Amino acid sequence: MSGAPTRRPEPAQRTEALESLLVERGLIDPAVMDKFIKTYEQDVGPLNGAKVVAKAWTEPEYRERLLAEGTSAIKELGFAGPQGEHIVVLEQTDEVHHVVVCTLCSCYPWPVLGLPPSWYKDPAYRARVVREPRAVLREMGLDVPADKKIEVWDSSAEVRYLVLPQRPAGTDGWDAEALAGIVTRDAMVGVAVVAP
What are the residue numbers of the active site?
102, 105-107
DSSP secondary structure of 96-140: EEEEEE-SSS----HHHH-SPPHHHH-HHHHHHHHH-HHHHHHHT
Q: Does residue 97 contact residue 152 with C-beta atoms inside 8 Å?
A: no
Which residues, in sequence order, are CB contacts of 91 under 8 Å at separation 6+? 67, 98, 163, 164
Distances (CA, A) of 160 to 59, 85, 142, 154, 174: 23, 8, 22, 8, 29
Cβ–Cβ < 8 Å for 154, 131: no
Instruction: Give the C-alpha separation, 164 to 84, whole Å.
Output: 16
C-alpha to C-alpha distance for 32 and 10, rounded to whole angstroms: 24
CB 196 within 8 A of CB 58: no
